[in-house]
Amino acid sequence: MEAGMTKDFVNPFTPVVGKVPLHIAGREEIIADIEGALAGAGNDPAIISLLVGPRGMGKTALLSHFADTAESSGWVTARVTCVAGMLEDILIRTQRATRHLVDIEPARKIKGAGIADFISLELEDSPRELSNWRSRMDDILDALAECNTGLLVTIDEVNPSIDEMATLVAAFQHFLDEGKKVALIMAGLPYAVTSLLSGKSTSFLRRAARYELQALNDYEVEEALMRTMRDGGKSFEPDALEAAVNAVKGFPFMLQLVGYRVWRMAGDSETVDVSIVNAAASVARKELDQRVYEAAWFELSEADKSFLLAMTEDSAITRQADLAGRLNKPSGHVSRYKKRLMQQGIIQERSRGLLEFCLPGFKEYFQERIAEEGDL
Ligand SMILES: Nc1ncnc2c1ncn2[C@@H]1O[C@H](COP(=O)(O)OP(=O)(O)OP(=O)(O)O)[C@@H](O)[C@H]1O
Ligand SMILES: [Mg+2]
């Protein structure tokens, strides 16, 4: 425990990438849908789900949350990131988890062989070609079915340029057609998901339930801040809570940063006043700048910056058609840079030809940095 903090409590906030927060703000509908699908018969569309949203919006945290709850109700889970080697990774993790299950129920048999024998056979094999992946998974799924359980695969940071996605999607289509107990939850930046769905070999995913993680509402932020703080043995004074909510601006990552700093700065005090929140918010804001915005800023080329600067002329939505004139560039240039910035998770296309900043707070950060550059 940190010295000088409220006795017997540790900081309850989790400003760590991918960490499941103590209290998840909002997201009730997504959680109800996906947990409902996991509890249901397997014909629910949310049995294959896509979580889509900009950075820091809580995609990884939700994936972990679903994997945790699925595990606690008996599912076997394989949690992977979308990189080359992902299929082998899923296979190995599934085998490991299955072996654990077998340890719990050693008496179970499949077709005359113990699951343990079957698994060790699998593990003795040298990695075979990926074309075998589906049939190897098929065998494991049959073994799991004998134990009355299913497999949840979570894939983070989906990347359409990873060829293994096509194999995985085709295999899942087959598993579902065969009535196997499987679930697939994927997460990614909007652009990556859109281009994944447009691919021919992964078009089956258009049937998946798609959830857009938007900024949180203020009342959702308020409730999560209040509850988490209470679990840490402290409470906000009313105007302090309001100030904290204003500092968070609906951004989940900022909720954790602000809460973490507030709790720490409050020291031994059990109540948090507005001066603590103000001091904490300015530290949290710097941390957010460093961890999220600065990284995004340094990825920007001069042409990216001109593009974004032209977008800041609008208060919220920019028409793509207006940008060619503002930038004095052909429309091909505009489409190219739109795509680049979407890939970086900085802007999104709300609907055809309508663009907006999607990383909460980045527009303001960008304007400040541009003004600083102008001062140099
Ligand atoms: N609904 C939520 N309520 C409270 N805190 C949240 C919520 N969602 C995420 N967080 C917190 O926000 C931070 C960022 O979450 P996470 O890493 O899951 O975002 P992400 O969308 O995966 O970002 P990236 O695209 O950068 O991977 C973590 O500290 C997490 O604990
Ligand atoms: Mg993530």
Q: What is the pLDDT of residues 83-110, one digit of tens each?
A: 999 999 999 999 888 877 655 443 343 4
Q: Specify the pLDDT at position 259.
A: 97
Mean pLDDT score, 11-22: 93
Q: Where are the beta strands (DSSP E) in 254-332?
A: 271-272, 318-319
Q: With 60 as the cut, is the pLDDT of residue 1 above it?
A: no
**What is the residue with the minimal CA distance to atom 12 of ligand 1?**
253
- By the 10 Å C-beta count (0-12 exposed, 13-18 middle, 19+ buried), 43 is classed as exposed
Q: With 60 as the cut, is the pLDDT of residue 293 above it?
A: yes
Q: Specify the pLDDT at position 285.
A: 92
* Tens of pLDDT, residues 58-70: 999 999 999 999 9
Ion ligand 2 residues within 5 Å by Cβ:
59-60
Within 6 A (CB) of ligand 1 lie 14-19, 21, 24-27, 53, 55-61, 224, 252-253, 255-256
Stretch among 25-29, 51-55, 221-225, 315-319 having the lowest mean pLDDT: 51-55
Q: Say which amino acid occupies 286.
A: K
Q: Specify the pLDDT at position 268.
A: 92
> Which ligand has the nearest atom to the CA of 64?
1
**What is the residue with the minimal CA distance to atom 30 of ligand 1?**
19
Ligand 1 centre distance from Cα of residue 354 (Å): 26
Q: Specify the pLDDT at position 376.
A: 61
Nearest CA among 140, 176, 152 for reference residue 38 = 152
Q: Specify the pLDDT at position 8.
A: 78
Sorted by sequence, the CB contacts under 8 Å of residue 128 that are 6+ apart come out as 136
Q: Specify the pLDDT at position 274.
A: 97
Output the six-digit token pair for 192: 């990556």
| SS3 sequence of 117-181 | HHHHHHHHCCCCCHHHHHHHHHHHHHHHHHCCCCEEEEEECCCCCCCHHHHHHHHHHHHHHCCCC
Task: Say whether 273 sits in a helix, a strand or coil.
Answer: coil
Ligand 2 centre distance from Cα of residue 251 (Å): 14
Mean pLDDT score, 19-38: 95
Contact 232, 10 (CB under 8 A): yes
Q: With 90 as the cut, is the pLDDT of residue 305 above it?
A: yes
Long-range contacts (CB closer than 8 Å, 24 or more residues apart) made by 312-316: 312/363, 312/366, 312/367, 316/356
Select, from the ranges 109-113, 146-150, 151-155, 204-208, the one with the highest average predicted confidence (pLDDT): 151-155
Mean pLDDT score, 125-154: 79
Q: Specify the pLDDT at position 42.
A: 67
Ligand 2 centre distance from Cα of residue 74 (Å): 25
Q: With 70 as the cut, is the pLDDT of residue 326 above it?
A: yes
Q: Specify the pLDDT at position 104.
A: 41
Ligand 2 centre distance from Cα of residue 214 (Å): 14
341 or 105, higher pLDDT: 341
Q: With 60 as the cut, is the pLDDT of residue 18 above it?
A: yes
**What is the residue with the minimal CA distance to atom 24 of ligand 1?**
55
Average pLDDT, the chain: 87
Percent of the chain surpassing pLDDT 70: 89
> Which atom number of ligand 1 is nearest to the Cα of residue 64?
18
Q: Specify the pLDDT at position 322.
A: 95
* Domains of the chain, start order: 28-212 (3.40.50.300), 218-296 (1.10.8), 299-375 (1.10.10.10)
Q: Specify the pLDDT at position 110.
A: 40
